Chains A and B, each alone.
Chain A
Amino acid sequence: MTAPTIKVVDLHKRFGPLEVLRGVSFEVRRGVVVSMIGASGSGKSTLLRCINHLETPTSGDVLIDGESLCFRNGVDGERKPRSLAEINRIRRNLGIVFQQFNLWPHMTVLGNVVEAPLRVRGLPRKQAMDVANACLARVHLAEKATQYPARLSGGQQQRVAIARALAMEPKVMLFDEPTSSLDPELTEEVLGVMRELARDGTTMIVVTHEIGFARDVSDRVMFLHNGLIEEEGPPEALFGAPKSERLRQFISKHLR
């Protein structure tokens, strides 16, 4: 058995008096697709943002290939919080796709995708361009390279956002409700690309409301409730024979 690519250890997140995450632990191994489902407010998105350190966890840790994202060992063996520069370095291993795409409107599609390989990975321009074009091809948007994001449909923008994250060649791809702000007829093209990534062996953590996607594509499903993992397991077990009452209610609400 290989070591986990990503390991979340007793993660807590508190916003003032509100404890959004109340001790979440799990592991994801290489090539595994995990879906996170749960009602809004259950902490799914916060969990994803904590994994990526866009939110600083109140306590707990995230390990990527065994390396802590939150702490480093000081000279005296003491655990110290990492500096922003260190977090940035480790964070390169995690690609995140947001609900609202968040493409940079002043750059072309290719510009959006080439930015990180060029300036963060420091690849030579020619090589960075090749990487970017290959990533655009993977999301089937090679022909839109010179367009500006504003000219693209929501589904196309989200696929560019996926290509932008892929261009860093991350070890894990995080998806934060990637289809929630899309019209129903556009969600399929994005889910299609995600299915292809899963088939290619990409390690993925997907926060989603798409029960169909969670059931068909993921190796494991986690059901979050009130900041805790209420139930987890292979999709057949979780959707076929849910143990918790809350999960049963959630499924019946979402699978009409």
Chain B
Amino acid sequence: MSESLHQALDLSLFWEYRNVLLHGLAVNFYVFAASAILALLVGLGAALARVNRLWPLRALGTLYVEMFRNAPEYIMVVWVHFVLPLLLSYLIRSRLEFNPFASSVIGLGLVYSGYFAETFRAGIEAIPLAHVEAGRSLGMPEWLVFRRIVLPQVVRRMLPESVNQFISLFKATTIVSLIAVPDLMYDVTMITQQEMRPLPLYTGAALTYFVVVLAGSSALRALSERWRAKIYA
């Protein structure tokens, strides 16, 4: 094995900085969790707009979804951090700044809300009207029918696809170091500047992400399978 390859795969440097790096990874989790919640909530709203009876709402929903679903995360995060505050400052006529964490969450949340909106919409449209009618015929108001009959089934239906989207979102959190959110990749860059040995750090980071994503997605898949098996016997 060549000397440079050997060095690139030597993880002792990575291990040395494990505490710092673990903190970075925790930041990745925070960004992931916050933007996932935002994406789910906004995505559900956009999906409801897209299946609404009123066409202006449907059109607005479609515009929203297409806009954010087709925006690269990288550009959205940078745009939200640098351009959106300027725009808002102009509108409210006072100076406004986002901290990098908030910008990351908003940027990633918006992009993924576009994806989740489509998953929600497909799920909502897959629920038979007959299930809704059964609820209505018992005198359930529309919001109760949605909350108790439609939404729980939608969530179960969209689980397998959402696992993929959660994976993408988690991987996308690696770009937040660009606007100086102190995540794992940010730490890797900082340590590289001191140690001048980037390769083993990148190998370590790659392995870390691999393990985390694999463990997380396997657990989610197992959970969703168990949950669905009861219903679709």
Interfacial residues, chain A to chain B (CB-CB below 8 A): 52, 54, 84-85, 88-89, 91-92, 94-96, 98, 100, 102-106, 115-116, 119-120, 148, 150-151, 161, 164-165, 168
Contacts and interface: CB of A to CB of B under 8 A. Distances in A.
Mostly, the B contact residues are: helix
B148 A119 contact: yes
Contacts of A88: 136, 139-141
B226 interface: no
Nearest to B141: A88
A52 B139 contact: no
Given A84-B142, A106-B156, A115 B148 contact: yes
B130 to A, nearest CB: 4
29 contacts: A54-B133, A54-B136, A88-B139, A88-B141, A89-B139, A91-B136, A92-B139, A98-B130, A98-B134, A100-B130, A102-B134, A104-B135, A104-B153, A105-B232, A106-B153, A106-B156, A106-B231, A115-B138, A115-B140, A119-B140, A119-B144, A119-B148, A120-B138, A120-B140, A120-B144, A148-B231, A150-B230, A150-B231, A164-B138
A13 to B, nearest CB: 16
A104 B231 CA distance: 9
A80 to B, nearest CB: 20
A57 to B, nearest CB: 16
B213 interface: no
B233 interface: yes
A76 B156 CA distance: 50
Contacts of B152: 106
Interface string B128-167: 1011011111111110100011001100100000000000
Contacts of A106: 152-153, 156, 231
Nearest to B133: A54
A52 B138 CA distance: 10
A105 B137 contact: no
A54 B137 contact: yes
Nearest to A115: B148
Contacts of A100: 130
Nearest to B152: A106
Nearest to B142: A84
A92 B138 contact: yes
Interface in B4-46: none
Contacts of A104: 131, 134-135, 149, 153
